[in-house]
Amino acid sequence: MACSASGTIVLKLGNCTHPKEVPMKFLKACSIILTALFMLTALGGCESGSQDQTPDQVLGSGSKVLRILSGSENSELEPILEQFANENDMRIEMTYQGSLDIMRQLEQDKLPYDAVWPASSLWLNVGDSPLNLKHAESISITPVIFGIRQSLAEQLGFVGREVSVGDLLDPIRSGQLRFCMTSATQSNSGASAYIGFLYALLGNPESITLEDLQTDALRTQMTELLAGVERSSGSSDWLKDMFLEGDFDAMVNYECLIIQANQALEAEGRETLYAVYPTDGLTIADSPLAYVDQGDGQKEELFLSLQEYLLSDAVQSQIQRTGRRSSYTGVNPENRDVFREDWGLQPDRVLSPIHMPAADVLFEALDLYQTQFKKPSLNVYCLDYSGSMSGDGNRQLEAAMEQLLIQSYAAENFLQASENEVNIIIPFNDETLGVYTAEGNGPALEDLYATIEALGPGGGTDMYQAAVQGIDALKQYDLSAYTPAIILLTDGQSGGSFSQLADAYASLGSQVPIFSIMFGDADESQLEDLAEFSNARVFDGREDLVGAFRSVKGYN
């Protein structure tokens, strides 16, 4: 996939091209260009498939190795996978990425993995992969549903009856229902929910066309629906954790993660969620495990033995205990206690998947979500310009911000700004160096990037003062109209006062996440304290600063 200088997404066949023109006001130094091109290759899927990959989790310690590129939701199955690895003298190396990232990896000519395991077959089918994928089988299925606080579900009249997307839209319009959801352009659960919303709002056509996406009625209704999103996330698993740490009324997520959230809520004596299955927009994650054939017969046999193990009756029953289903027609009797009907779960429900759109329609729909439909982001970037950022650190920072602010690059990863988005840059060392704002998705973003290029590092580090300045900047906006976040980059231990930041945060009157990107010798404990304080998370930018910025932007 590539994009034109105007930001239009183009699906490429078998290779990848970069924009012919890049709208930058200043020529970059060669080192910055090389950094940016390298990261575009890594993120956009243009070659580089032979690079070594460090797995996120290694299961077993045997001599035979099976490397799997997987959606993060499969981390729940690690005990089951480890049992197989130990019994078969092998090692399973799990690398977790989002489903859209997996799709982009599949567009490469080579892939340093033996198997892929995304959340949905959608991402195996819509990309143009030159790889030989074989033996794809669904390991489990789970629908994407609403989990609504029990008392609110009762108040809205949703308990004990079928609920349509239109039924959900009414209380969203009135402000009675606010929910958390992953980004449709970064996570399968968000993308699936969004596709279900599209089908429902369009009256459930046999298939969605490009013309359908351009109607004024759809634009109005989808904008109203997504205005109900209170917090966003780039990961379904982290969305569940964020929900448990916060005070929210509802979330859209996989049925299995709603179950896990309820188990945690009940154990803590807190109100549980009531499961609502949107009748006219229900989408399903079918968790396909596929082999990447690279001519190694022994590796293929190893893969098939793992797949056979996962599909065996005994293991399928174990998988059901995690809240996933084995079929579209119901749950095994021994696992009905997991799918509790008092939580609104429907173990006997027959699941009917909707027809997924064609690739060109899907990519146009995702582009519209990012640029027109979703609630606009309000991003405050507090960027470290202390002396220790000189040289490579500053070059990487510029390359990272280029990927977000130069819209032809941002579009390659569906991270482009909308016409109502606000981006605020607060550079700092031992004091703040200014506040620079760009509203919308026009030339002001390029001006903002030119400002970043013109700045130079020097001095000490006080991230707290910069964050306080960011909180002051947020007070100028109606935060209910945005998805706000403070995004903090630092490469060192910070002076300054955490209590000053805490006081300023309390005066904001709204829970805004303070995401942190750790770089260089940053004090991880300081950053984790900020994340815990604001129900956010820390991203590690020490090996891939551009990727870290891309990830954190996907959470907003």
User: DSSP letters of 441-504?
Assistant: SSHHHHHHHHHHHH----S---HHHHHHHHHHHHTTS-GGGSEEEEEEEESS---S-HHHHHHH
Q: Yes or no: say if 100 and 120 are a contact pair by the CB < 8 Å rule.
A: no
Q: Yes or no: say if 147 and 330 are a contact pair by the CB < 8 Å rule.
A: no
pLDDT in tens, 421-452: 999 999 999 899 999 999 998 899 999 999 99
CB-count exposure of residue 436 (10 Å: 0-12, 13-18, 19+): middle
CB-count exposure of residue 298 (10 Å: 0-12, 13-18, 19+): exposed
Reply yes or no on whether the pLDDT at 83 is more than 90: yes
What's the pLDDT band for 216 if we cut at 50, 70, 90?
Answer: very high
Reply yes or no on whether the pLDDT at 277 is more than 70: yes
Q: What whole-number distance in Å separates Cα of residue 274 and Cα of residue 461?
A: 47
Q: What whole-number distance in Å separates Cα of residue 92 and Cα of residue 14?
A: 29
Report percent pLDDT > 70 for the chain: 90
Reply yes or no on whether the pLDDT at 34 is more than 60: no
What's the pLDDT band for 176 if we cut at 50, 70, 90?
Answer: very high
Q: What is the per-residue pLDDT for 13?
A: 29
CA 348 to chain centre: 31
Kindly provide the b/e burial profile for residues 357-366, where b requires at least 16 CB atoms within 10 angstroms of the residue's own CB.
bebebbbbbb
Q: What is the per-residue pLDDT for 542?
A: 85
Q: Which residue has the tokens 């279900």?
A: 196
Q: Yes or no: say if 401 and 452 are a contact pair by the CB < 8 Å rule.
A: yes
Q: Between residues 546 and 290, which one has the greater pLDDT?
A: 290
Question: What's the mean pLDDT in 513-533?
Answer: 88
Q: What whole-number distance in Å separates Cα of residue 435 and Cα of residue 454?
A: 14
What's the pLDDT band for 53 if we cut at 50, 70, 90?
Answer: low
Which of 394, 288, 468, 482 has its CA nearest to residue 31?
A: 394
Say what the pTM is.
0.85
Which of 419, 396, 385, 344 has its CA nearest to residue 492?
A: 385
Q: What whole-number distance in Å separates Cα of residue 528 and Cα of residue 539?
A: 10
Q: Between residues 41 and 367, which one has the greater pLDDT?
A: 367
What's the pLDDT band for 161 if we cut at 50, 70, 90?
Answer: very high
Q: What is the per-residue pLDDT for 552?
A: 87
Q: What is the per-residue pLDDT for 279?
A: 94
Query: Of 68-77, 160-169, 379-388, where does the model show the most confidence?
Result: 160-169
Reply yes or no on whether the pLDDT at 9 is more than 50: no
> 392: which residues sit within 8 A by CB, 6+ positions away?
none
CB-count exposure of residue 87 (10 Å: 0-12, 13-18, 19+): exposed
Q: Between residues 129 and 282, which one has the greater pLDDT?
A: 282
What's the pLDDT band for 6 if we cut at 50, 70, 90?
Answer: very low
What's the pLDDT band for 411 if we cut at 50, 70, 90?
Answer: confident
Q: What is the per-residue pLDDT for 43?
A: 35
Question: What's the mean pLDDT in 497-515?
Answer: 89
Beta bridge partners of 66: 92
Q: What whole-number distance in Å separates Cα of residue 398 and Cα of residue 423?
A: 15
Instruction: Return phi, psi of residue 468, to 5°.
Output: -60, -40
> 161: which residues sit within 8 A by CB, 6+ positions away?
none
Q: Yes or no: say if 77 and 53 are a contact pair by the CB < 8 Å rule.
A: no
Q: Which amino acid is residue 43, in one-letter code? A: L
Which of 104, 120, 97 has its CA nearest to residue 11?
A: 104
Instruction: Return phi, psi of residue 499, to 5°.
Output: -65, -35
Q: What is the mean pLDDT of the chain?
A: 87
Reply yes or no on whether the pLDDT at 33 is more than 70: no
Q: What whole-number distance in Å separates Cα of residue 18 and Cα of residue 107?
A: 15
Q: What is the per-residue pLDDT for 214?
A: 94
